[in-house]
Amino acid sequence: MNRCLFGMPYPRNVPYRNTFNRNPHPVPPVQCGQKLMVQSLPEPESPEVVSAPNKMMLKGSSSGGIFLPENTDKNAIYTVASINLDTSEYKNFSMHFNFSCSIAITGARLHLKFQLFKQEKNQTNPFPVGSSFVFIRNEESTETNTFSLTAWDLDSMASECCNYSIRIEVMGFDTVGAVMITNPVLAAFIIENEQ
């Protein structure tokens, strides 16, 4: 016997394994007072086993940023973002990096070099990956800009711990004015290539 509950019919005393919602299929609407017939539906055929699609992982890192006071020495180096990656599950892969930040300057004149660095588990010093990018203001100005860069690491090997970092180097001359680098975000995409 069916009863209506909030305008919806439901079967009484039907075990879960026999209910029509276990394997969702379209069911015609049932009006209150109609008898609901419950039947077992055939199990859907299992699809053919195909190789798994390319694996991909996304990991991101963000921090508060840094402040470069007036007269920051040339050749001073600062790390603004860093990320640790475990690539031990990947065999034939490439890594794509995106970095972005906001640069707020007040009465500043500066040359900043942005570079992605990599340091694997057993390495003592990090080494650069890809090209460096330079942000230049030759005349004193007060403004806020967005800065971004993209880099690829195509010759990495599987490793349990690999650190990637974005470093900023003050180039050419001591900074004039105040510089604030805010909202630095480093995102890494690990993409397994087809064999």
What pLDDT is recorded for position 184?
A: 94
**Interval 57-88: pLDDT, tens:** 788 888 888 998 888 888 899 999 999 988 88
Residue 2 has pLDDT above 80, yes or no: no
What pLDDT is recorded for position 53?
A: 56
Please give the Cα distance from 180 to 167 (Å, whole number). 15
Residue 7 has pLDDT above 80, yes or no: no
**Interval 9-59: pLDDT, tens:** 545 544 444 444 444 444 444 444 444 444 444 444 433 333 345 677 788
Say if pTM beats, i.e. exceeds, 0.85.
no
Query: At a CB cut-off of 8 Å and minimum separation 6, what does 177 contact?
Result: 70, 105, 106, 107, 108, 109, 110, 140, 142
The mean of the pLDDT values for the chain is: 76
Please give the Cα distance from 70 to 78 (Å, whole number). 15
Report residue 147 CA to chain centroid gap. 18
Residue with more model confidence, 168 or 22: 168
The mean per-residue pLDDT over the stretch 174-193 comes to 89
Query: At a CB cut-off of 8 Å and minimum separation 6, what does 195 contact?
Result: 91, 92
* 116 — pLDDT class (breaks 50, 70, 90): very high
Residue with more model confidence, 142 or 37: 142
What pLDDT is recorded for position 187?
A: 93
Residues of the chain with pLDDT > 70, as a percent, come to 71
* 182 — pLDDT class (breaks 50, 70, 90): very high
What pLDDT is recorded for position 54?
A: 64
The mean per-residue pLDDT over the stretch 170-188 comes to 90
What pLDDT is recorded for position 173?
A: 85
- The position carrying tokens 């100005």 is 141
